[in-house]
Structure 1
């Protein structure tokens, strides 16, 4: 935020914790008290800033004046007079600058109605046009990460270089939705994708450059449904799993701070992604797939791999935070959040919907898990719209 005047404090978002305290603060019935408390906190921070700035200016003034006095070889009395005069002049100018900044800041801060307005945000890169040909008649599009590609499952028939690099499978939930509804569904998801590298920006996979999924999606002028599965790679979920497997405890300040930092950045990118999805041609119905519980009720089977029940509980708490961001963002943007039901089919259950730790894609859905995701999406769509098939 730009402030007029020679002294301009820089407001930066250095850390934010998504927890119940912030929710209670925002939802407080005593809204006026909350605003006053936030104002007092900001005023204290600025006072400290101006005090420190004043002290630094005084120290440099004395140093410079002392150097000049030493070079001129003045008497002790004249030295004291020059030093005091220099200090007073510099501090007078500094205090005046502070007052100007404080006066203009009041008017600027009255315009603030959001955290982004106060500290700004890093915009997503522009989506370049895709070089691929038009998609033609398409009923639905799937965007996102390896959960949506069907990682670890049999590949699609006659895969293109991009489909092979992204790991797209014939058992992905996109294929199951296409079969049951007789739709044409184009699966643009890609393993390892994030919002900035994969969905809104291009993705480098070895020698293959995968164009931005959004850019390809824009070429469809008839798709009435867009299903998005995103977030795990943005917050470093795989890294947290590996960290828990090799350390005595992953419920510590370091891992939590890392996750919260990644989640805060993802939240801003996710908000901009939702705005771009709403601007797609024909304004399709948007489904945001939430993440499932990969562990299930019985959690003892993973202890030999370094994931104790306590660690799994910590990981599920982080996953719940990600799902909350996905859900609230979807609802605020008019999209539909969808939570697949894996109850009784976790990794340690008799009939898991999740691939084993030693599988090609650990913790990713099996073919049955992909079917469960398709069923959840299908149920959500039945409440929203009926898409006439373009192919029979």
Structure 2
């Protein structure tokens, strides 16, 4: 029995995750670490985050799912696009469910074989060490393998097979990771792209808040606090492209990008829908800071003696998980479009890349700066891994040498109109990173 337990543990460690193709996407299926409870959620590996599934599975051994590739396909369009062909949507759902079930069953078959092989090797070694006769060794090995197989069936296989019904409840890429449905409809057919037209969507960083105002702002510009210091404005000046800025202060993926946002007494339409209606040849996305409460975390670090406590870490991780799920929704909807524009995803700059003496009086110690860098890295990892899965280029603006405490900062001061947001010079630095990414992606 001891050898059976060891063989089962080793098999769960050695059995490789099984890759399956579903609706044009690549999903890896395996088992999560064993749990002490008899039912509970499985695990989803998404953009560097380990998330719980929204579905509970029976038994201590539950599925682990990893979304490794997001590709444009007609099946994905049927699955996450606007309602239309119910038969095509049902076929896409069946394909996804059957692929997950097939991957899970293949994993279990390989796991059973590894249990038998490991128990055979271990029992044979024990029999040899005890110098048993050939007959006694054969009997011991056969009985040992049978006991290990029986224990594996009772502890793993029986309950794991019951997970098939739960896997068949996964009806979309979004429900694969337990992402809640986000309101808003994507357009069925995109207008022909306008050559050289770039649209920026995103949050206050992209809006350029705190900088000099636009010359002739629209009502939406004023509500969203868009300024002349936004990187969209600098990108238009540094190129021959027509650049439209739809970014809005306080926007998140859920409220602002994919659905409507209330701002300044105005109910603004979803940025993504408005952007696609404008027929851009390229789309720049700057999201994440509001989704994870980045400015709130900086304020928390300044206010608390120890901002790295368990409560702060748990809060940030929870926000990061929610952001990863919503980010997947955004990526899959973009990938479901026919003839989508070129998409560039921006990561966030480090506001304190160099000297940090100027914030010491605010309670931001070196240890807190390290913690903030860790949180920033986690957010940017989600952005980068998601963009990589969707094959979208990344723009990585750097403010090295121009941080908050430098003689020539690209960051607005703590006492500025929009603390820690880019100055006009910072907006230019972001614009140059985006310009390089667009040119590398073939934008002319």
Would you call these one fold, judging by a TM-score over 0.5? yes
Query: Of residues 372, 379, 383 in structure 2, which corresponds to 1:326?
Result: 383
Unmatched segments (≥5 aa) in structure 1: 1-27, 52-100, 388-392
SS of 2:290's partner is coil
Q: Which has the higher strand share?
A: 2
Alignment CA distance shift 1:31-1:288 (3 Å): farther
What SS does the aligned partner of 2:299 have?
helix
Is the contact between residue 194 and residue 281 of structure 2 (CA under 8 Å) also seen in structure 1?
no
**Partner SS for 2:228:** coil
Structure 1 residue 33: deviation in Å?
9.1
What is the CA–CA distance in structure 1 between the aligned matches of 2:222 and 2:260, rounded to whole Å? Answer: 16
Q: Deviations over 1:270-322 (max 9, x none)?
A: 01101222345641111110011101210111011221221111111001000
- Answer whether contact 2:202 2:287 (CA < 8 A) is retained: yes
Q: Does 1:314 align with 2:298?
A: no
- 1:294 matched residue in structure 2: 351
Query: Are the aligned partners of 1:342 and 1:353 in contact in 2 as well (CA < 8 Å)?
Result: yes
Partner Cα separation in structure 1 for residue 33 and residue 13 of structure 2: 19
- Give the Cα–Cα distance (whole angstroms) in 2 for the partners of residues 367 and 169 of structure 1: 9
Q: Distance in 2 between matches of 1:166 and 1:183?
A: 23
Aligned to 2:214: 156
Q: Does 1:261 align with 2:253?
A: no
Q: Say if 2:34 is the partner of 1:41.
A: yes
Q: Distance in 2 between matches of 1:199 and 1:36?
A: 31
Following TM superposition, by how much is the alpha carbon of 1:162 offset from its aligned partner in structure 2, in angstroms?
Answer: 1.1
Higher radius of gyration, 1 or 2: 1
1:293 counterpart SS class: coil
Q: How does 1:368-379 map to 2 (within 5 A)?
A: 368-379=425-436
- After the TM superposition, list the runs of 4 or more consecutive aligned residues in structure 1 that deviate by more than 3 angstroms: 28-40, 47-51, 101-104, 106-120, 134-138, 278-282
Q: Deviations over 1:312-349 (max 9, x none)?
A: 11111001000000000001011111110111111011
> CA offsets, 1:343-392, max 9 Å, x none?
111101111111100000111111111111011111111211133xxxxx
Q: TM-score, structure 1 length as denominator? A: 0.70
Q: 1:145 aligns with which of 189, 199, 203?
A: 203
Distance between the aligned counterparts of 1:385 and 1:149, measured in 2?
Answer: 25
Aligned residues: 305
The equivalent of 2:182 in structure 1 is: 124
Rounded to whole Å, the distance in 2 between the matches of 1:220 and 1:127 is 16
Deviation string, structure 1 residues 128-170 (Cα, Å, up to 9, x no partner): 88xxxx9988701000001001110011111111100111111
Q: Contact 1:231–1:266 (CA<8 Å) still a contact in 2?
A: yes
The normalised TM-score by structure 2 is 0.62
CA deviation after TM superposition for structure 1 residue 172, in Å: 1.1
What is the SS of the residue equivalent to 1:41?
coil
